Structure 1
Amino acid sequence: MLIYTEMEAAMRTDDADRYAALLAENFEYVRHKSQDTIGREAMRNLLTKVWRPGNRTIEDLRCLYENDDILVVHTTLSFASGSREGAMIVHHKRDGLIVRAESGVSDLSDGARPGSVPQRIPTHSAAPGSGPIPHETSI
């Protein structure tokens, strides 16, 4: 069952109850900074606070992929405080409800520290015929 359209409607109308109706009773959200988890009711309460009138503006919201098992969403938000964030949220689904969500968030504010953006790690190609990397071989 596809649920993005309902999720988008809830987000665009700041309706935390409508959003929470998409969450399974055993839902857990993994916080991107602390890795702590919160349940369905705590998530509804958090969204009620964050989605209060005038607190945030959705600059961009789109579904990158959805099937019966997973929903991947990207959004860009600006807040009354002046901060901006880009977020990628992966939602695991079961029986048409979200059972787990985890996000990665990037600070897009003008004052974001340059070092806060992940740096590209150079990769090195192995010499032809050098074989697999030892820790990646199966036993």
Structure 2
Amino acid sequence: MTLYEKYAEALDAKNIDMLAALCHPNFEMVMHSSGSVASKNEYLERLGPLIQKFTPKNRRCLYENEDVMIMHFIMPFPNGTKDAVLYYVQKEDGLMRKIETGSTPIK
């Protein structure tokens, strides 16, 4: 099973423990909006409530090899807006080591 398939399974199950198991111990997430860096614990604390409220649409893996994974999805929000989201995931030891995101509002 690829890392993307494991990530998709965990996200579909809304299971933060499964997602945590996919994160490298030295995991970092670079926030596209501010450039700030979140640690593994900070990422999981933020992600836990979000996966319960929001469901990405049209999620797909654009590319994956032993070093990187690139995902794209549409994120609808309760106010009716949507963002196109791109995830670049640097992999290490088969786990997510670093995530960088980009988000663009769409109509």
Same fold (TM over 0.5): yes
Write 1 or 2 for the structure with the bigger share of strand.
2
Structure number, greater radius of gyration: 1
Q: Structure 1 stretches of 5 or more lacking a match?
A: 111-139
Q: How far, CA to CA, are the matches of 1:42 and 1:19 in structure 2?
A: 13
Q: How does 1:74-93 map to 2 (within 5 A)?
A: 74-93=72-91
Residue 80 of structure 1 deviates from its aligned partner by: 2.2
Please list the CA deviations of residues 23-80 of structure 1 after superposition, one character each: whole Å capped at 9, or x if unmatched.
111100000010000011111111112112xx22322100000011000000111122
Q: How does 1:1-139 map to 2 (within 5 A)?
A: 2-52=2-52, 55-108=53-106, 110=107
Residue 17 of structure 1 deviates from its aligned partner by: 1.8
Give the alignment's TM-score, normalised by structure 2: 0.92
Q: How far, CA to CA, are the matches of 1:50 and 1:58 in structure 2?
A: 11
Sequence identity percentage: 29
Q: How far, CA to CA, are the matches of 2:29 and 2:55 in structure 1?
A: 22
Partner of 1:42, secondary structure, is: helix
**Mapped contact 1:12–1:58 kept (Cα < 8 A):** no
**Mapped contact 1:65–1:72 kept (Cα < 8 A):** yes
RMSD: 1.4
Give the count of matched residue pairs: 107
Q: How far, CA to CA, are the matches of 2:34 and 2:63 in structure 1?
A: 26
**Greater relative contact order structure (CA < 8 Å, 6+ sep):** 2
More divergent stretch after superposition (33-42 vs 43-52) = 43-52
Deviating runs (4+, > 6 A) in structure 1? none
Give the alignment's TM-score, normalised by structure 1: 0.72
Q: Structure 2 stretches of 5 or more lacking a match?
A: none
Letter of the aligned partner of 1:96 in structure 2?
A: G
